[in-house]
Chains A and B, each alone.
Chain A
Amino acid sequence: MKNPGKIAIWAVIGIAVLVIGFMAFSPAEGTVENVDARRLADLVASGVRVIDVRTEGEYAAGHIAGAELVPIDRFAQAAATWDRTVPLAVYCATGQRSTTAVNHLSGQGFEKVYHFNAGLVAWSGTLERGATAAAPAPEPTASALPVVYEFFTDT
């Protein structure tokens, strides 16, 4: 080997060029900031776009005023049309589905994403409801048994 020192220097330079090149040409990952209920309330008051990724039923039963409904199963398709420079706040019921959503946004290069990671169960503010007039009474059971409803989701 002629000059091990020079080889080492060129190797370091080569690696540095590769790293810089990768950083320059790979899609930029956005910034995700976890926020609590108080901070989210401030963001809502300041007019930040708020996205609710729960189901239609959950949303209709109560949502943060002004939040847009984008269920998680339709989220990626909807987000593909959004301006990546506009800050977004995202929430679900407990933070599970919204984590999927904010990871997607971050990977797609959205510049600023606020994640209400505790979810709506930690929200102490008022909730807006959907149209309530049409909510029917549940049908009584023919045998007059007690009834248990379980509301669940696959996502």
Chain B
Amino acid sequence: MVDRLVKEYEGKIEFRLLNAGTDAEATDLMMRFGVTAVPTFVFLGSDGANEGKIIGAASEQELRAKLDSLK
């Protein structure tokens, strides 16, 4: 599902997919965003402002709603 959304929102939203177990930069970013459980989605606006997160498996509908609200 996420792969499909990545393609669909290409040019509008940048997706950064990080494996919490293997990607070196994941640990620092998880600390920064307070991510204590995976999967978690963190949303940032174009100005870098933290626009919230979704913890746990998100539905496509839930993700789309959040993505569409990002500016």
Measured CB to CB, the residues of A under 8 A from B are 54-58, 60-63, 71, 73, 93-94, 119-121, 127, 129-130, 132, 134-138, 140-141, 143-155
User: Do A145 and B40 have beta carbons less than 8 Å apart?
Assistant: no
24 contacts between A and B (CB under 8 A): A54-B38, A55-B20, A55-B21, A56-B20, A56-B27, A57-B29, A60-B30, A120-B37, A144-B47, A145-B46, A146-B13, A146-B43, A146-B46, A146-B70, A146-B71, A147-B16, A148-B14, A149-B17, A150-B15, A150-B39, A151-B38, A152-B39, A153-B39, A155-B21
What residue in chain B is nearest A136 (Cβ atoms)?
A: B28
The A interface is mostly helix, strand or loop, or mixed, namely loop
CA distance A32 to B2 in the complex (A): 36
4 more CB-based (< 8 A) A-B contacts, given A61-B33, A94-B56, A149-B29: A61-B35, A146-B70, A149-B16, A150-B41
Most chain B CB atoms below 10 A, which of A130, A140, A145: A145
What residue in chain A is nearest B44 (Cβ atoms)?
A: A147
Most chain A CB atoms below 10 A, which of B15, B18, B35: B35
Measured CB to CB, the residues of B under 8 A from A are 2, 11-22, 26-48, 51, 55-56, 67, 70-71
User: Do A149 and B42 have beta carbons less than 8 Å apart?
Assistant: yes
CA distance A29 to B28 in the complex (A): 39
CA distance A140 to B45 in the complex (A): 11
CA distance A152 to B51 in the complex (A): 19
CA distance A149 to B48 in the complex (A): 12
What residue in chain B is nearest A152 (Cβ atoms)?
A: B39
Known A57-B26, A130-B31, A146-B71; judge A151-B18 contact (CB<8 A).
Answer: yes
For residue B39, which residues in chain A have a CB less than 8 angstroms away from its CB?
Answer: 150-153
CA distance A121 to B54 in the complex (A): 12
For residue A148, which residues in chain B have a CB less than 8 angstroms away from its CB?
Answer: 13-16, 41-44, 67, 70
Known A60-B31, A135-B28, A135-B32; judge A152-B14 contact (CB<8 A).
Answer: no
For residue A147, which residues in chain B have a CB less than 8 angstroms away from its CB?
Answer: 13-16, 43-44
